């Protein structure tokens, strides 16, 4: 029997969402002039709120506006490494890091499954000692990262499909695996319901209510006080 502990990333392991922070850092380091396009991105975000733009398309447009439509892989990997240094451990819950270590000690293979782009989450995962990331994939062509999603945006039901596809790719049937899944958001309800053990972590109100109704464990990890963070973090 295979054992997997699968974690969402944003607000489950990290204090806050990571995509916007990564975008801004990448923009500053790769093409600072693109920060002038933030008002355009704001307009696109309003379109998303009005349901005129889909979640995946919003990501693509944000990528194109703030990073560029075509960026060398090596450049983004360098930014990802720098970004991850600022996230781990300073912007991650100590409780999450401890639980990852505990799962690993119990014989679980730890994965991260996130709607965020795998292109930078892999650097965060590496610093957490996590070897597998299931996330939204950017299209890569001829050594360049394009501002287009390859496949599905790893969100909601698509996240579960991508986890199942990963298991199938490993040659593992669902009945051959025990799965724990951790998430803060109700959008992950399909995967939480699919898991053998579901954990609502730092859950917002809708997920907290759902967890209570379905008998899922509810876990709250506290933020580390800022004055206890390593020097240089802010």
Sequence spans of domains, the chain: 2-228
Q: How many CA atoms lie within 13 A of 86 on its CB side?
A: 11
Query: Is the per-residue pLDDT at 232 higher than 50?
Result: no
Alpha carbon distance 180, 165 (integer Å): 17
Among residues 61, 47, 46, the alpha carbon closest in space to that of 153 is found at 61
Alpha carbon distance 159, 142 (integer Å): 27
In the chain, the percentage of residues whose pLDDT exceeds 70 is: 96
Containing 129, the helix (H) or strand (E) segment is none
Write down the H helix ranges in the chain.
19-30, 38-49, 55-66, 73-87, 94-105, 118-128, 157-169, 189-194, 205-214
Q: Evaluate whether 7 touches 113 at the Cβ level (below 8 Å).
A: yes
Burial of residue 202 (number of CB atoms within 10 Å: 0-12, 13-18, 19+): buried
pTM of the complete model beyond 0.85: yes
Alpha carbon distance 143, 153 (integer Å): 22
pLDDT in tens, 63-98: 999 999 999 999 999 999 999 999 999 999 999 999
In the chain, the percentage of residues whose pLDDT exceeds 90 is: 94
pLDDT in tens, 146-187: 999 999 999 999 999 999 999 999 999 999 999 999 999 999
What pLDDT, on the 0 to 100 scale, is given for residue 226? 53
DSSP symbol at 90: T
CATH code for 2-228? 3.40.50.1000
């Amino acid at each position: 029997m295979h054992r997997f502990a699968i974690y969402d990333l944003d607000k489950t392991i990290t204090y806050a969402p990571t995509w916007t922070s990564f975008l801004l850092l990448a923009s500053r380091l790769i093409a600072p002039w693109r920060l002038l396009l933030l008002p355009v991105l704001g307009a696109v975000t309003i379109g998303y709120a009005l349901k005129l733009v889909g979640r995946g398309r919003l990501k693509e447009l944000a990528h194109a506006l703030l990073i560029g439509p075509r960026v060398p892989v090596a450049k983004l990997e360098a930014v990802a490494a720098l970004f991850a240094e600022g996230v781990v451990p300073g912007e991650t819950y100590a409780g999450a890091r401890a639980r990852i270590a505990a799962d690993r000690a119990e014989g679980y293979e730890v994965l991260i499954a996130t709607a965020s782009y795998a292109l930078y989450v892999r650097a965060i995962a590496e610093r957490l000692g996590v070897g597998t990331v299931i996330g939204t994939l950017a299209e890569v062509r001829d050594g360049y990262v394009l501002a287009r999603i390859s496949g599905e945006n790893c969100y909601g039901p698509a996240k579960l499909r991508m986890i199942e596809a990963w298991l199938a790719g490993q040659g593992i049937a669902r009945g051959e695996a025990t799965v724990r899944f951790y998430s803060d958001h109700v959008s992950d309800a399909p995967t939480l319901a699919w898991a053998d053990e579901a954990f609502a972590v730092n859950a917002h109100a809708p997920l907290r209510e759902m967890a209570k109704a379905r008998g899922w464990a509810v876990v709250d990890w506290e933020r580390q006080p800022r004055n206890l963070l390593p020097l240089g973090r802010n």
